[in-house]
Amino acid sequence: MKTQTKSAGPAPKAERIAKVMARAGLCSRRDAEKWIAEGRVSLNGKVLTTPATTVGPRDDVLVDGKQLPKRERTRLWLFRKPRGLVTTNRDPEGRPTVFEKLPADMPRVMSVGRLDINTEGLLLLTNDGGLARVLELPATGWLRRYRVRAYGSITQAELDRLADGFAVDGILYGAIEATLDRQQGENVWLTLALREGKNREVKRVLEALGLAVNRLIRISYGPFQLGELADGEVREIRGRVLRDQLGHRLAVEAGADFDTPFAEEPGEKKPAPQKPVKKEAAGARPQPKKPRRRRGMVDVDDVPDKRDRNRTVRPGKPPVRSAGKPSGRPAGKPAGKPSARPSGRPSGKRPAPKS
Protein backbone atom coordinates (compact mmCIF):
# COMPACT_ATOMS: atom_id res chain seq x y z
CA MET A 1 0.00 0.00 0.00
CA LYS A 2 1.43 3.35 -1.02
CA THR A 3 1.64 6.12 1.55
CA GLN A 4 0.69 9.62 0.52
CA THR A 5 2.93 12.48 1.60
CA LYS A 6 1.73 16.00 1.98
CA SER A 7 3.48 18.58 -0.15
CA ALA A 8 5.29 21.40 1.58
CA GLY A 9 3.40 23.94 -0.53
CA PRO A 10 4.16 25.66 -3.82
CA ALA A 11 7.81 26.44 -4.41
CA PRO A 12 8.71 30.14 -4.50
CA LYS A 13 8.54 31.31 -8.09
CA ALA A 14 11.48 32.95 -9.80
CA GLU A 15 11.35 36.69 -10.49
CA ARG A 16 13.15 39.09 -12.78
CA ILE A 17 16.51 40.21 -11.42
CA ALA A 18 15.61 43.90 -11.69
CA LYS A 19 12.44 43.31 -9.70
CA VAL A 20 14.32 41.44 -6.98
CA MET A 21 16.89 44.24 -6.68
CA ALA A 22 14.15 46.84 -6.44
CA ARG A 23 12.29 44.89 -3.76
CA ALA A 24 15.50 44.69 -1.76
CA GLY A 25 15.58 48.48 -1.70
CA LEU A 26 18.81 48.89 -3.65
CA CYS A 27 17.41 50.89 -6.54
CA SER A 28 14.51 51.20 -8.94
CA ARG A 29 13.96 48.68 -11.72
CA ARG A 30 15.22 51.13 -14.30
CA ASP A 31 18.41 51.75 -12.34
CA ALA A 32 18.83 47.98 -11.84
CA GLU A 33 18.85 47.50 -15.61
CA LYS A 34 21.54 50.20 -15.89
CA TRP A 35 23.63 48.55 -13.19
CA ILE A 36 23.41 45.23 -15.03
CA ALA A 37 24.52 46.87 -18.27
CA GLU A 38 27.48 48.39 -16.39
CA GLY A 39 28.54 44.93 -15.18
CA ARG A 40 27.91 45.62 -11.51
CA VAL A 41 25.67 42.57 -10.92
CA SER A 42 26.72 38.92 -10.88
CA LEU A 43 24.62 35.77 -10.58
CA ASN A 44 26.12 32.55 -9.20
CA GLY A 45 29.63 33.78 -9.89
CA LYS A 46 29.00 35.08 -13.43
CA VAL A 47 28.60 38.73 -14.39
CA LEU A 48 25.17 39.43 -15.84
CA THR A 49 24.93 41.05 -19.24
CA THR A 50 21.15 41.24 -19.64
CA PRO A 51 18.29 42.12 -17.26
CA ALA A 52 16.13 39.41 -18.89
CA THR A 53 17.16 36.98 -16.17
CA THR A 54 15.08 35.33 -13.48
CA VAL A 55 16.39 34.39 -10.07
CA GLY A 56 15.09 32.28 -7.24
CA PRO A 57 15.70 32.16 -3.50
CA ARG A 58 18.64 29.74 -3.89
CA ASP A 59 20.53 31.90 -6.38
CA ASP A 60 23.55 33.88 -5.24
CA VAL A 61 23.28 37.52 -6.36
CA LEU A 62 26.09 40.01 -5.80
CA VAL A 63 25.88 43.75 -6.43
CA ASP A 64 29.21 45.58 -6.51
CA GLY A 65 30.73 42.49 -4.94
CA LYS A 66 28.35 42.54 -1.97
CA GLN A 67 25.60 40.10 -1.14
CA LEU A 68 22.12 41.17 -2.12
CA PRO A 69 20.45 42.29 1.13
CA LYS A 70 17.44 40.41 2.36
CA ARG A 71 14.08 41.94 1.78
CA GLU A 72 12.71 43.97 4.66
CA ARG A 73 9.25 45.01 5.72
CA THR A 74 7.71 47.65 3.44
CA ARG A 75 8.13 51.10 4.98
CA LEU A 76 7.34 54.66 3.92
CA TRP A 77 8.66 58.05 5.09
CA LEU A 78 7.57 61.64 4.56
CA PHE A 79 10.43 64.06 3.87
CA ARG A 80 10.23 67.81 3.44
CA LYS A 81 12.70 68.62 0.70
CA PRO A 82 14.36 72.03 0.93
CA ARG A 83 15.32 74.00 -2.15
CA GLY A 84 18.75 73.34 -3.59
CA LEU A 85 18.78 69.54 -3.25
CA VAL A 86 18.85 67.13 -6.18
CA THR A 87 16.62 64.03 -6.04
CA THR A 88 19.23 61.52 -7.12
CA ASN A 89 21.76 59.20 -5.52
CA ARG A 90 24.78 60.55 -7.39
CA ASP A 91 24.97 63.92 -9.07
CA PRO A 92 27.67 64.26 -11.75
CA GLU A 93 27.88 68.00 -11.07
CA GLY A 94 28.59 67.46 -7.39
CA ARG A 95 25.46 69.20 -6.13
CA PRO A 96 24.03 68.17 -2.73
CA THR A 97 21.45 65.40 -2.92
CA VAL A 98 18.38 64.50 -0.89
CA PHE A 99 19.92 61.25 0.31
CA GLU A 100 22.98 63.01 1.73
CA LYS A 101 20.73 64.99 4.08
CA LEU A 102 18.84 62.02 5.54
CA PRO A 103 19.49 60.81 9.11
CA ALA A 104 22.34 58.35 9.45
CA ASP A 105 20.13 55.70 11.11
CA MET A 106 17.76 55.43 8.15
CA PRO A 107 17.99 52.33 5.93
CA ARG A 108 18.69 52.54 2.21
CA VAL A 109 15.67 54.22 0.59
CA MET A 110 14.54 55.52 -2.76
CA SER A 111 12.22 58.35 -3.70
CA VAL A 112 8.72 58.04 -5.07
CA GLY A 113 9.10 60.24 -8.13
CA ARG A 114 11.32 63.30 -8.14
CA LEU A 115 11.26 67.00 -7.36
CA ASP A 116 13.29 69.61 -9.25
CA ILE A 117 16.23 71.24 -7.51
CA ASN A 118 14.24 74.45 -6.90
CA THR A 119 11.02 72.65 -5.92
CA GLU A 120 10.38 72.12 -2.22
CA GLY A 121 7.85 70.26 -0.15
CA LEU A 122 6.67 66.70 0.32
CA LEU A 123 8.77 63.83 -1.02
CA LEU A 124 7.88 60.21 -0.30
CA LEU A 125 10.71 57.79 0.51
CA THR A 126 10.45 54.00 0.70
CA ASN A 127 12.67 50.95 1.06
CA ASP A 128 10.50 48.94 -1.38
CA GLY A 129 11.14 49.48 -5.08
CA GLY A 130 7.89 47.77 -6.00
CA LEU A 131 5.91 50.26 -3.92
CA ALA A 132 7.81 53.21 -5.41
CA ARG A 133 7.03 52.05 -8.93
CA VAL A 134 3.30 51.59 -8.27
CA LEU A 135 2.87 54.97 -6.56
CA GLU A 136 4.59 56.75 -9.45
CA LEU A 137 2.20 55.41 -12.07
CA PRO A 138 -0.55 57.80 -13.26
CA ALA A 139 -2.89 54.77 -13.32
CA THR A 140 -2.70 54.68 -9.53
CA GLY A 141 -4.74 57.87 -9.54
CA TRP A 142 -3.17 59.56 -6.53
CA LEU A 143 -3.62 63.33 -6.64
CA ARG A 144 -0.57 65.57 -6.15
CA ARG A 145 -1.19 69.10 -4.90
CA TYR A 146 1.12 72.09 -5.22
CA ARG A 147 1.17 75.64 -3.92
CA VAL A 148 2.53 77.97 -6.57
CA ARG A 149 3.75 81.54 -6.47
CA ALA A 150 4.18 83.06 -9.91
CA TYR A 151 4.98 86.44 -11.33
CA GLY A 152 2.16 87.92 -13.39
CA SER A 153 -1.62 88.03 -13.28
CA ILE A 154 -4.31 85.61 -14.41
CA THR A 155 -8.03 85.02 -13.97
CA GLN A 156 -9.87 81.95 -12.75
CA ALA A 157 -11.51 81.61 -16.17
CA GLU A 158 -8.10 81.21 -17.79
CA LEU A 159 -7.08 78.60 -15.24
CA ASP A 160 -10.25 76.61 -15.90
CA ARG A 161 -8.90 75.83 -19.38
CA LEU A 162 -6.48 73.39 -17.77
CA ALA A 163 -9.28 71.12 -16.55
CA ASP A 164 -9.57 69.40 -19.97
CA GLY A 165 -5.84 68.92 -20.51
CA PHE A 166 -3.32 71.24 -22.07
CA ALA A 167 -0.74 70.91 -24.85
CA VAL A 168 2.61 72.73 -24.78
CA ASP A 169 5.14 72.34 -27.61
CA GLY A 170 3.48 69.18 -28.81
CA ILE A 171 3.40 67.59 -25.34
CA LEU A 172 -0.09 66.83 -24.04
CA TYR A 173 -0.53 67.20 -20.31
CA GLY A 174 -3.43 65.68 -18.43
CA ALA A 175 -6.21 67.46 -16.59
CA ILE A 176 -5.09 69.98 -13.97
CA GLU A 177 -7.29 71.44 -11.25
CA ALA A 178 -6.15 75.05 -10.79
CA THR A 179 -7.48 77.57 -8.25
CA LEU A 180 -6.60 81.24 -7.96
CA ASP A 181 -6.00 81.90 -4.27
CA ARG A 182 -4.98 85.56 -4.19
CA GLN A 183 -3.07 88.34 -5.92
CA GLN A 184 -0.15 89.59 -3.83
CA GLY A 185 1.56 92.57 -5.41
CA GLU A 186 2.96 91.51 -8.76
CA ASN A 187 2.66 87.80 -7.87
CA VAL A 188 -0.25 85.38 -7.72
CA TRP A 189 -0.72 82.40 -5.42
CA LEU A 190 -2.30 79.31 -6.97
CA THR A 191 -3.17 75.77 -5.90
CA LEU A 192 -2.73 73.08 -8.55
CA ALA A 193 -3.70 69.41 -8.42
CA LEU A 194 -2.61 66.84 -11.02
CA ARG A 195 -2.21 63.09 -11.35
CA GLU A 196 0.60 62.63 -13.87
CA GLY A 197 3.51 64.76 -12.72
CA LYS A 198 5.60 64.89 -15.89
CA ASN A 199 8.98 66.60 -15.87
CA ARG A 200 8.59 70.33 -15.12
CA GLU A 201 4.89 70.07 -15.91
CA VAL A 202 3.66 72.86 -13.62
CA LYS A 203 6.25 75.38 -14.76
CA ARG A 204 5.78 74.71 -18.46
CA VAL A 205 2.00 74.86 -18.33
CA LEU A 206 1.96 78.13 -16.38
CA GLU A 207 4.61 79.65 -18.63
CA ALA A 208 2.29 78.96 -21.55
CA LEU A 209 -0.34 81.02 -19.72
CA GLY A 210 2.05 83.94 -19.22
CA LEU A 211 3.18 83.25 -15.66
CA ALA A 212 6.73 82.83 -14.37
CA VAL A 213 6.90 80.43 -11.44
CA ASN A 214 9.25 81.64 -8.68
CA ARG A 215 8.23 79.23 -5.92
CA LEU A 216 6.77 75.72 -6.05
CA ILE A 217 5.79 73.67 -2.99
CA ARG A 218 4.29 70.19 -3.06
CA ILE A 219 1.82 70.00 -0.18
CA SER A 220 0.36 66.50 -0.63
CA TYR A 221 0.84 63.22 -2.44
CA GLY A 222 -2.27 61.08 -2.40
CA PRO A 223 -3.50 60.74 1.20
CA PHE A 224 -0.23 61.95 2.70
CA GLN A 225 0.07 65.62 3.66
CA LEU A 226 3.07 67.88 4.17
CA GLY A 227 1.55 69.29 7.35
CA GLU A 228 3.94 70.99 9.76
CA LEU A 229 7.11 69.21 8.65
CA ALA A 230 10.13 71.48 8.82
CA ASP A 231 12.77 71.67 6.10
CA GLY A 232 14.82 68.47 6.12
CA GLU A 233 12.54 66.72 8.64
CA VAL A 234 11.65 63.04 8.17
CA ARG A 235 8.65 61.21 9.62
CA GLU A 236 7.79 57.55 9.15
CA ILE A 237 4.26 56.36 8.44
CA ARG A 238 3.11 53.57 10.72
CA GLY A 239 2.68 50.19 9.06
CA ARG A 240 -1.03 49.93 9.82
CA VAL A 241 -1.70 53.40 8.44
CA LEU A 242 0.28 52.63 5.29
CA ARG A 243 -1.58 49.38 4.75
CA ASP A 244 -4.95 51.09 5.16
CA GLN A 245 -4.06 53.95 2.81
CA LEU A 246 -2.76 51.63 0.09
CA GLY A 247 -5.73 49.31 0.18
CA HIS A 248 -5.74 45.70 -0.95
CA ARG A 249 -5.37 46.38 -4.69
CA LEU A 250 -2.32 48.64 -4.51
CA ALA A 251 -0.67 46.48 -1.85
CA VAL A 252 -0.97 43.43 -4.10
CA GLU A 253 0.25 45.29 -7.19
CA ALA A 254 3.26 46.62 -5.29
CA GLY A 255 3.95 43.27 -3.64
CA ALA A 256 4.15 45.08 -0.31
CA ASP A 257 5.36 43.02 2.63
CA PHE A 258 3.85 43.87 6.02
CA ASP A 259 4.60 40.53 7.69
CA THR A 260 8.39 40.42 7.82
CA PRO A 261 9.51 41.57 11.28
CA PHE A 262 11.90 44.45 11.69
CA ALA A 263 15.51 43.66 12.40
CA GLU A 264 15.15 46.29 15.12
CA GLU A 265 11.95 48.15 15.76
CA PRO A 266 12.33 51.87 14.95
CA GLY A 267 12.55 53.88 18.14
CA GLU A 268 12.66 50.73 20.30
CA LYS A 269 14.54 51.17 23.54
CA LYS A 270 16.33 48.38 25.27
CA PRO A 271 15.00 47.66 28.77
CA ALA A 272 17.15 48.95 31.62
CA PRO A 273 19.12 46.21 33.42
CA GLN A 274 17.49 45.16 36.65
CA LYS A 275 19.41 45.26 39.91
CA PRO A 276 20.27 41.80 41.31
CA VAL A 277 18.15 40.73 44.25
CA LYS A 278 20.15 39.84 47.37
CA LYS A 279 19.43 36.33 48.60
CA GLU A 280 18.98 35.92 52.36
CA ALA A 281 20.68 33.14 54.24
CA ALA A 282 18.71 29.98 54.77
CA GLY A 283 16.72 30.03 57.99
CA ALA A 284 17.27 33.75 58.56
CA ARG A 285 14.27 35.74 59.60
CA PRO A 286 13.52 38.55 57.17
CA GLN A 287 14.24 41.96 58.63
CA PRO A 288 11.32 44.40 58.47
CA LYS A 289 11.97 47.46 56.43
CA LYS A 290 12.36 50.67 58.37
CA PRO A 291 9.54 53.05 57.46
CA ARG A 292 10.68 56.04 55.54
CA ARG A 293 10.57 59.15 57.64
CA ARG A 294 8.83 62.09 56.08
CA ARG A 295 9.67 65.68 56.63
CA GLY A 296 7.67 67.27 59.47
CA MET A 297 6.87 63.96 61.22
CA VAL A 298 7.86 63.44 64.87
CA ASP A 299 9.54 60.19 65.73
CA VAL A 300 8.50 58.20 68.80
CA ASP A 301 11.90 58.73 70.36
CA ASP A 302 11.43 62.47 70.06
CA VAL A 303 8.40 62.60 72.38
CA PRO A 304 9.49 64.31 75.64
CA ASP A 305 9.13 62.60 78.97
CA LYS A 306 7.71 64.11 82.17
CA ARG A 307 10.83 66.17 82.86
CA ASP A 308 10.55 67.83 79.44
CA ARG A 309 6.88 68.79 79.55
CA ASN A 310 7.67 72.48 79.84
CA ARG A 311 10.16 72.44 77.02
CA THR A 312 9.33 73.25 73.45
CA VAL A 313 9.87 70.32 71.06
CA ARG A 314 10.37 70.98 67.41
CA PRO A 315 9.34 68.30 64.95
CA GLY A 316 12.28 66.12 64.01
CA LYS A 317 14.64 67.49 66.72
CA PRO A 318 14.87 65.81 70.15
CA PRO A 319 15.13 68.09 73.19
CA VAL A 320 18.48 68.63 74.82
CA ARG A 321 18.44 67.14 78.29
CA SER A 322 20.77 68.43 80.99
CA ALA A 323 22.71 66.02 83.17
CA GLY A 324 22.38 66.05 86.98
CA LYS A 325 19.86 67.86 89.13
CA PRO A 326 17.62 70.39 87.48
CA SER A 327 18.48 73.99 88.19
CA GLY A 328 16.22 76.21 90.27
CA ARG A 329 15.71 78.48 87.31
CA PRO A 330 12.21 78.20 85.93
CA ALA A 331 11.98 76.37 82.65
CA GLY A 332 12.01 78.56 79.63
CA LYS A 333 13.67 81.56 81.37
CA PRO A 334 16.83 82.64 79.60
CA ALA A 335 20.04 82.82 81.56
CA GLY A 336 21.82 86.15 82.01
CA LYS A 337 22.61 88.89 84.52
CA PRO A 338 20.12 89.21 87.38
CA SER A 339 17.88 92.19 87.16
CA ALA A 340 18.50 95.08 89.59
CA ARG A 341 14.83 95.28 90.18
CA PRO A 342 13.68 93.10 93.08
CA SER A 343 11.44 90.35 92.11
CA GLY A 344 8.95 91.25 94.89
CA ARG A 345 9.06 87.74 96.27
CA PRO A 346 10.51 87.18 99.81
CA SER A 347 13.44 84.85 100.01
CA GLY A 348 12.24 83.29 103.34
CA LYS A 349 14.77 85.11 105.66
CA ARG A 350 14.32 88.57 107.18
CA PRO A 351 17.21 90.98 106.83
CA ALA A 352 19.21 91.71 110.02
CA PRO A 353 18.37 95.02 111.76
CA LYS A 354 20.83 97.83 111.37
CA SER A 355 22.79 98.79 114.50
Closest CA to 177 of 154, 212, 202: 202
DSSP string across 312-334? ---TT-PPPPPSSSPPSSPTTPP
Sign of CA dihedral 277, 278, 284, 285: negative
| Dist CA 267 CA 202 (whole Å) | 38
What are the Cα distances from residue 231, in Å, to 28, 120, 121? 25, 9, 8
Q: Are 65 and 47 in contact (CB under 8 A)?
A: no
Residue 116 known to be catalytic: yes
**Alpha-carbon 341 to chain mean position:** 84
Contacts of residue 70, defined as CB under 8 A and 6 or more positions apart, other chains included, come to: 24
- The CA-based angle 292-296-301, given to 5 degrees, is 70
138, amino acid identity: P
189 — alpha (psi -120 to 50), left (phi > 0) or beta? beta
Q: Indicate which residue of 59, 116, 257, 302 is catalytic.
A: 116
Active site residues: 116
